[in-house]
Amino acid sequence: MCKWGTSEVLEITVPAHLSHTGKKRLKKIGVDKCIAPIVRALNDAGITTDASCCGHNNGPGSIVLADGRELLICENISFARKLCLHLPDIHGKYIEKREYEHFDGKDWHYFVG
């Protein structure tokens, strides 16, 4: 995660149906430098983003998609798996017990929630 104010300017395409002009256009936006490559890749792939923040060491980062969904960005997979234990699935349903396993290159780690 980067320090607040450390940004990179990206030029993204705003699709016509999301543009205030009603026409496809380019827009320059400032994005936190540490997640700029992810935001650029999503937009280059045609996945329009509305907002983003890396979290600045105060929590997970996020990228808000134009369709209303939000991607959370965690420092590492172990933190992401622990966070997932407290969140509903993609359909909004909470699962009573979840089990995850992760190999960090040395050891297997198991999480149960």
Examine the domain organization and report whether 112 and 80 are in the same domain.
yes
| Model pLDDT, residue 16 | 82
| pLDDT score, position 70 | 93
**Banded pLDDT at 17 (limits 50, 70, 90):** confident
Task: Tell me the C-alpha distance between 11 and 80, whole Å.
Answer: 29
Same domain, 101 and 58: no
- Split at pLDDT 50, 70, 90, the class of 97 is low
Question: How many distinct structural domains can be found in the chain?
Answer: 2
- Its sign, for the CA torsion 78, 80, 86, 87, is negative
**Same domain assignment for residues 82 and 58:** no
pLDDT greater than 60 at residue 113: no
Location of structure tokens 């400032």? 30
Q: Are residues 62 and 80 in the same domain?
A: no
- The predicted pLDDT at position 33 comes to 93
Say whether both 45 and 84 belong to one domain. Answer: no
Claim to verify: residue 81 and residue 68 sit in the same structural domain: no
- 29-85 pLDDT, tens digit per residue, is 899 999 999 999 999 998 989 889 998 888 889 999 988 899 999 888 888 877 877
Domain identity same for 13 and 51: yes
Nearest C-alpha neighbor of 18 from the set 62, 57, 49 = 49
Q: Is the pLDDT of residue 91 over 80?
A: yes
> Are 7 and 45 found together in one domain?
yes
Looking at residue 8, its pLDDT comes to: 92
User: How confident is the model at residue 75, as a pLDDT?
Assistant: 84
Same domain for 61 and 95, yes or no, is no
pLDDT at 89: 79
Domain that residue 36 falls in: 1-73
> CA 34 to CA 32: how far, in whole Å?
6
46 and 1, same structural domain? Answer: yes
Of 43, 58, 73, the residue that ends a domain is 73
